[in-house]
């Protein structure tokens, strides 16, 4: 059989995201023919070398992380096998939410980073978060963020290489599971803010979609800043912002309605031309589109030509939660896209691992070569396979910050996928939030903005 391999196809399109292989991390990201379907043995070799290398890098180059390791009595040579991974000190996600404002915010960013900074010029006596982020961007460092319902942001700085690698990884992971559908000659609709103008993480990281698919549209064109996010979530500091908040909310609502109409019009054209289509982004936007189609009695039949990849979280308040199963049924009913082509992706701003549903059973497969999942109980002890607990991970990709992090998400990890033949660990299809942790997820923040904070 003539096989123009998946890896070759993807690497051809993702040329701009590939660096010469110099380190075990580069190897683990660029070399494997898949993050999901290679053997555990092969994957573990990549993973061990990559994470060991990454740990050593942060141990040696990050003052604060070095101190943490010293406190926990761990040295970089202590990691001799994958079993030793449990010695690697983890950073709670709250750490990245605990930052000062103004100039000190820039100093904080500099202090959490494990690389030599370029010169960064910051103007003004009391710069806003957005201004500091812009200054870092000028110097080639992308500070992506995500916010939660209590209005605090999580900021994560990535240098150019880490950033390109994370984009490469999301593409390689997502397209792997959609191989049967993927072709460059397709049309996609990004149900997120424009990656070229936003710093919201999931919006930002999807920029690579423009290279993977011939024609990509963006649903949210307004530039979304931290201030806009905060204000539209109703966290206002003064009278002026209170007024702005009202204005933004009504403007966003109007924009929202237009957006839905535009998407339907686009689907209509694509359907007439028999095009290959792809929706990528926040599930609630597609849900709004479907609601409108339902009302107006519209439906399409894209069949195998259509694919959907949702992301950014279903972690909304339970009362408003979109059941993922129902969602797939709706997508099939109104777009004719089969459930095997309707997948969800789980990721977070702090990490560079992209867990993607397998088409067979919609389990979230974990990338095996550079990312190591851990599930902890509330005492911080690891729990066994199949037990519920808090998700944590060791992520070899980021050079700019230590990617050894405890999240706020509740998961169940299985040693093998109950539904498909791919070797390796999976999470159960739906991830929820641990109580007491605020609800977060890029989709949730978008939803708040677009619906006027309802």
Residue numbers at the binding site for another protein (CB under 8 A): 63-65, 67-68, 71, 89, 91-92, 94-95, 98, 100, 103-104, 106-108, 110-112, 116-125, 149-152, 234-237, 317-320, 378-380, 434-439
C-alpha distances in angstroms, 103 versus 73, 227, 363, 434, 435?
Answer: 33, 17, 44, 33, 33
Choose the one of Zn ion, another protein, none that binds residue 75, judging by a C-beta under 5 to 8 angstroms depending on kind.
Answer: none
Choose the one of another protein, Zn ion, none that binds residue 120, judging by a C-beta under 5 to 8 angstroms depending on kind.
Answer: another protein
Shortest distance (Å) from residue 428 CB to another protein: 18
Choose the one of another protein, Zn ion, none that binds residue 82, judging by a C-beta under 5 to 8 angstroms depending on kind.
Answer: none
Kindly state the tokens that stand for 167: 């984009």
Considering only CA atoms, which of 234, 222, 149, 163 is closest in space to residue 192? 222
Shortest distance (Å) from residue 14 CB to another protein: 31
Choose the one of another protein, Zn ion, none that binds residue 358, judging by a C-beta under 5 to 8 angstroms depending on kind.
Answer: Zn ion
Which residue's CB is nearer to another protein, number 21 or number 107? 107
Which residue's CB is nearer to Zn ion, number 208 or number 425? 425
Kindly state the tokens that stand for 45: 């070799």
Which residue's CB is nearer to another protein, number 100 or number 303? 100
Shortest distance (Å) from residue 159 CB to another protein: 13
Shortest distance (Å) from residue 25 CB to another protein: 23
Shortest distance (Å) from residue 111 CB to another protein: 6
Which residue's CB is nearer to another protein, number 108 or number 210? 108
Shortest distance (Å) from residue 110 CB to another protein: 4
DSSP class of 17 = G
Shortest distance (Å) from residue 408 CB to another protein: 11
Backbone angles phi, psi at 155, to 5 degrees: -110, 130
Which residue's CB is nearer to Zn ion, number 219 or number 420? 420
Shortest distance (Å) from residue 378 CB to another protein: 8
Kindly state the tokens that stand for 138: 């000028």
Considering only CA atoms, which of 302, 425, 294 is closest in space to residue 355? 425
Long-range contacts of 98-107 (CB under 8 A, 24+ apart): 99/155, 101/126, 101/129, 102/126, 102/127, 103/127, 105/129, 105/132, 106/132, 106/135, 106/136
3-state secondary structure of 442: helix
Choose the one of Zn ion, another protein, none that binds residue 95, judging by a C-beta under 5 to 8 angstroms depending on kind.
Answer: another protein
CA–CA gap between residue 271 and residue 330 (Å, rounded): 17
Burial of 83 (C-beta count, 10 Å sphere; 0-12/13-18/19+): exposed
Choose the one of another protein, Zn ion, none that binds residue 210, judging by a C-beta under 5 to 8 angstroms depending on kind.
Answer: none
Which residue's CB is nearer to Zn ion, number 277 or number 358? 358
Tell me if 437 sits within 8 A of 92, measured CB to CB.
no
Tell me if 184 sits within 8 A of 214, measured CB to CB.
yes
Which residue's CB is nearer to another protein, number 108 or number 266? 108
Kindly state the tokens that stand for 173: 């992971």
Which residue's CB is nearer to Zn ion, number 268 or number 415? 415
Ordered alpha helix ranges (H), 297-417: 324-335
- CB count within 10 Å of CB 169 equals 26
Choose the one of another protein, Zn ion, none that binds residue 311, judging by a C-beta under 5 to 8 angstroms depending on kind.
Answer: none
């Amino acid at each position: 059989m003539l096989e123009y391999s998946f890896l070759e196809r993807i690497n051809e399109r993702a040329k701009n995201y590939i660096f010469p292989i110099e380190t075990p991390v580069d190897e683990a990201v660029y070399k494997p023919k898949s993050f999901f379907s290679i053997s555990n043995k092969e994957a573990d070799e990549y993973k061990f070398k990559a994470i060991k290398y990454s740990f050593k890098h942060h141990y040696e180059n990050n003052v604060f992380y070095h101190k943490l390791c010293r406190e926990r009595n761990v040295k970089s040579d202590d990691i001799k096998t994958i079993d030793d991974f449990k010695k690697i000190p983890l950073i709670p996600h709250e750490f990245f939410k605990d930052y000062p404002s103004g100039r000190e915010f820039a100093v904080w960013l500099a202090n959490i980073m494990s690389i030599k900074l370029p010169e960064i010029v910051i103007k003004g006596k009391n710069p806003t978060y957005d201004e500091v982020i812009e200054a870092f961007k000028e110097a080639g460092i992308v500070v992506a963020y995500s916010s939660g319902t209590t209005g605090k942001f999580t900021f994560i700085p990535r240098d150019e290489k880490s950033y390109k690698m994370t984009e490469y990884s999301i593409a390689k992971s997502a397209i792997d599971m959609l191989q049967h559908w993927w072709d460059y000659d397709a049309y996609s609709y990004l149900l997120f803010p424009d990656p070229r103008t936003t710093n919201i993480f999931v919006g930002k990281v999807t920029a690579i979609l423009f290279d993977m698919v011939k024609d990509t549209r963006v649903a949210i064109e307004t530039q979304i800043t931290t201030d806009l996010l905060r204000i539209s979530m109703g966290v206002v500091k003064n009278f002026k912002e209170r007024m702005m908040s009202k204005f933004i909310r009504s403007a966003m609502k109007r924009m929202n309605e237009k957006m839905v109409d535009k998407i339907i019009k686009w689907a209509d054209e694509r359907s007439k031309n028999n095009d290959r289509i792809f929706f990528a982004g926040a599930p609630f936007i597609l849900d709004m589109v479907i609601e409108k189609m339902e009302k107006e009695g519209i439906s399409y039949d894209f069949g195998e030509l259509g694919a959907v990849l949702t992301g950014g979280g279903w972690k909304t308040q339970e009362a408003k939660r979109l059941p993922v199963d129902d969602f797939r049924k709706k997508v099939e009913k109104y777009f004719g896209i089969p459930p095997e082509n309707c997948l969800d992706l789980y990721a977070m701003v702090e990490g560079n691992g992209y867990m993607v549903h397998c088409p067979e059973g919609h389990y979230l497969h974990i990338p095996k070569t550079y990312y190591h999942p851990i599930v902890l109980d509330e005492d911080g002890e690891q729990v066994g396979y199949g037990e519920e607990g808090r998700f944590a991970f060791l992520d070899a990709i980021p050079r700019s910050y230590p990617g050894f992090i405890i999240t706020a998400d509740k998961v169940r990890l299985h040693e093998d996928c109950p539904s498909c033949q791919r070797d390796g660990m999976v999470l159960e299809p739906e991830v929820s939030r641990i109580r007491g942790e605020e609800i977060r997820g890029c989709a949730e923040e978008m939803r708040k903005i677009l619906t006027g904070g309802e």
